[in-house]
Amino acid sequence: MNATYFIRTLPLVMLMSLLTLVGVSGCKVATPNDPTGNNLPNDPGDPSQDNTGTPRDDDPSDDPGTPSNLDPNAIKLGVIPKTFPSMNVPSSNPTTQAKIELGRHLFYDKKLSTDGKVSCASCHESSKGFANNVSVSPGVDGLLGNRNAMTLVNLGHYDNYVWNGRFKTLEEHAPGPIFNKVELGFGNDDRNGDGYGDPDGDTIILFRNIENQPKYPSMFKAAFGDEKVTIARMAMAIASFERTFVSNTSPFDDFNNGNKTAISANAIRGYKLFIDTRKTNCLGCHNGPNFTDGQFHNNGLSVSTKDKGRAELTGNSADIGKFRTASLRNAGVTWPYMHDGSISGPTPTAALESVIRRYRDGGDGRVNQDPRIRPLDLNDQDVADIATFIQSLTDTKFLTNPALQHP
Ligand code: HEC
Ligand code: HEC
C-alpha cells in the first residue's frame, strides 16, 4: 500500500467508520417501527434480549418450512431468558407515581362507561391475569364484541397492542375501549382531535362523570400540574398504571432462576418438551421472557370470515386469520383461549390440554396456517405435562398484588 493510496482512502475509511457509528447509535435511538424513539433495541448478541432486540422479519412464516425458519430459534433461544429487556416508555409520558395512582382509579371506575356498570376491570380482572373467564365479555348494556378480552401482562414490552396490533402504544390504545360502542360505550365526538371533546357531545358527559367525583381534581393536579381532565391525560395515566402489570414471580421464574424444586417433575418434563424444537415448535412463536414473539401468525385455528385479524390493518390476504402470539404467562387462569375464546373445557386444565391437543393434531390446515403448525408426536402424558408447565407460569404474587387491585 503506497502513501498516495493511503491518503486517498483515508477519508473513505473515516467516513465509513463514522457511518458505522451513526448507524449503530442511530438504531439505539429509534427504530422504524417505533415512532416514540424509546424502544431501545438490545444487544443482538445477548440471547436474553431476543424478544425485542433482534431486527424483526415481518413474518417469518412467509418462508414456509425452510430449516432456517426453525433452527435459528432453537439455537438462539434454546431456553427462556431470566430477565426482561427495558420497557418502552414514550418520552412524552414519563412514569410517575401520581400518574400510576390516577390511572388505577380510572381503570376501576365504572363512571367511564355510559351505563355506569362497566369499567376496564370488568373485562380485565386482576385475579384472572387481567383477562376473565368469558369467551367474549359483555360491555355496556350487555353488548358483545367479537373478541376475547386479552390478558394484560408485561405490557411495557410490546410494540403493538390488541389481537391484530392496530395500536402502537398504550397511550394510543387507552381511549379505544372508552369510545368503543360495545365496551365502555361513549361516542368519540372529538371532531377537531384536540383531546377535549366537542362542547355538545359525549366526551363532555364523560368528563363530568370524572370531574364530579371529589377525589379526581387533586389527582389530576398531582399527575399533570393542574386539574383539567382531557382524554390524553386519562390515557397517559391509564398507560402508566398498565405498565406496572409486571408478572415475573411465578414458580417457573423461581425454577428458571435456579431453584430446581420450584416446579414439579411433570412441569419440568413439560418445559423440556416445550423448548424441544424437534418435538414441538412452541418456542418458535412463544419465545422470550414473555413467551411471545409479539408477531402475527395463524396458529391453525380455523379462520372466521367475521374476523380477518391482522389483514384488517394491512388489507393483505396473506394476513387473514393472523393474530398476535398470546403470552403464556398466567394462561392457567385465562381460559377460554384464543382471540375468539373458542377453546374451552369442563375444567381449566381440560381447556388448556384441549389447546395443546389442537396443536398435536396439526391445526385445521386452513388458509395461511403457519408451516410450523404440523402434527406432533406427543402422547397424552406429554400433553398433560406441557399443560402443567404452562400452569407453573401462574404468578399468584402478581394476581394478588394489592397495588394492582381496586383502590
Ligand atoms: C367489554 C370488555 C372490555 C372492556 C370494558 C375493556 N376491554 Fe380491554 N380488551 C378487551 C378485548 C376484547 C381486547 C382485544 C381487542 C381486540 O383485539 O380488538 C382488549 C385488549 C386490551 C389491551 C391490549 C393488550 C395487549 O396485550 O395488546 C389493553 C391494554 C386493554 N384492553 C386495556 C383496557 C383498558 C385500559 C380498558 C378501560 C379503559 C379496557 N381495556 C376495557 C375487552 C375489554
Ligand atoms: C406459529 C406460531 C405458534 C406456534 C408454533 C405455537 N403457537 Fe401457541 N399461539 C400462537 C398464536 C398466534 C396464538 C393466538 C392465536 C389466536 O388467538 O387466534 C397462540 C395461542 C396459544 C395459547 C392460548 C393463550 C390464550 O391466552 O388464549 C396457548 C395456551 C398456546 N398458544 C400454547 C402453545 C403451545 C403449547 C405450543 C406448542 C405445542 C404453541 N402454542 C405453538 C402462535 C403459536
Same domain? 216 vs 267: no
Cell of 103: 390511572
CA 358 to ligand 2 centroid distance, Å: 10
Domain of 208, in residue numbers: 97-246
Q: Is residue 48 part of a domain?
A: no
Q: Is the dihedral of CA 141, 142, 147, 150 positive or negative?
A: positive
Identify whether residues 129 and 77 lie together within a single domain: no
pLDDT in tens, 48-91: 333 333 333 333 333 333 333 333 333 333 578 888 888 989 99
Q: Which of 106, 108, 119, 150 maximizes ligand 1 atoms within 8 Å of its Cβ, making it the mutation to test the pocket?
A: 150
Q: Assess whether 242 and 259 both reside in one domain.
A: no
Mark whether 241 and 358 lie in a shared domain: no
Compute the distance from residue 277 Cα to the ligand 2 centre, in Å: 15
pLDDT at 301: 87
Kindly report the CATH number assigned to the domain that includes residue 204: 1.10.760.10
Residue 88 resides in a domain:
no
Shared domain check, 153 and 221? yes
pLDDT in tens, the chain (407 residues): 334 343 343 343 343 333 333 333 322 222 233 322 232 223 222 333 333 333 333 333 333 333 333 333 333 335 788 888 889 899 999 999 999 999 999 999 999 998 999 999 999 999 999 999 999 988 988 889 889 999 999 999 999 999 999 999 999 999 989 888 888 888 766 666 655 555 567 888 899 999 999 999 999 999 999 999 999 999 999 999 999 999 999 999 999 999 999 999 999 999 999 999 889 989 999 999 999 999 999 998 876 677 889 999 999 999 999 999 999 999 999 999 999 999 999 999 999 999 999 999 998 877 899 999 999 999 999 999 999 999 999 999 999 999 999 99
**Which pLDDT value is given to residue 30?**
28
Cα–Cα distance for residue pair 104/223, rounded to 1 Å: 12
Q: Is 339 in the pocket of ligand 2 (CB under 6 A)?
A: yes
Cα of 173 from ligand 1 centre, angstroms: 9
* Domain final residue pick, 246, 264, 289: 246
Ligand nearest to the CA of 206: 1
Are 297 and 181 contained in the same domain?
A: no
The pTM (predicted TM-score) of the whole model is: 0.83
**210 and 278 co-located in one domain:** no
Residue 281, pLDDT score: 86
What is the count of structural domains for the chain?
A: 2
Please tell me the residue having the least CA distance from ligand 1 atom 22: 162
Instruction: Return d(Cα 137, Cα 118) in angstroms, integer.
Output: 11
Task: Note whether 258 and 242 are same-domain residues.
Answer: no
pLDDT at residue number 192: 63
- Residue ending a domain, among 193, 213, 246, is 246
Task: Name all residues whose Cβ lies below 6 A of ligand 1.
Answer: 107, 112, 118, 120, 122-124, 137, 139, 145, 147, 149-150, 152, 155, 158, 161-163, 170, 173-174, 177-178, 183-184, 238, 242
CA distance 362 to 166: 28
- CB-ligand 2 contact for 359 (6 Å cutoff): yes
240 found inside a domain: yes
Query: Is 331 close to ligand 2, i.e. is its CB under 6 Å away?
Result: yes
Asked whether residue 357 is assigned to any structural domain, the reply reads yes
Which amino acid residue places its CA nearest to atom 11 of ligand 1?
149
What is the Å distance from ligand 2's center to 368 Cα?
15
Q: How far is the CA of 336 from the centre of ligand 1 (A)?
A: 16
Atom index in ligand 2 nearest the CA of residue 281 equals: 5
Closest-approaching ligand to the CA atom of 275: 2
**Pairing of β 296-297 and β 323-324:** antiparallel
* Same domain as 235, residue 196: yes
Between the CA of 249 and the centroid of ligand 2 the distance, in Å, is 22
In a domain, 147, yes or no: yes
Query: Which residue's entry shows cell 424478544?
Result: 51
**Hey, what's the cell of 256?**
428458571
Rounded (5°) CA angle 247-250-251:
170
- Is 295 part of any domain? yes
Q: What is the pLDDT of residue 191?
A: 65
**C-beta 297 within 6 A of ligand 2:** yes
Report yes or no on 227 lying in a domain: yes
Q: Is the CB of 150 under 6 A from ligand 2?
A: no
Assigned domain for 49 exists: no
**Pair (234, 264) in one structural domain:** no
Task: State in Å: Cα 176 to ligand 1 middle.
Answer: 8
Shortest-distance ligand to the CA of residue 108: 1
The pLDDT score that the predictor gives to residue 5 is: 40
Q: Any idea which residue has 366526551 for its cell?
A: 203
Distance 321 CA to ligand 1 centre (A): 19
Same domain, yes or no, for 237 and 312? no
Q: Which of 246, 277, 308 is the last residue of a domain?
A: 246
* Whether residue 76 is found in the same domain as residue 132: no
- For residue 381, the Cα-to-chain-centroid distance in whole angstroms is 30
What are residue 309's DSSP bridge partners? 322
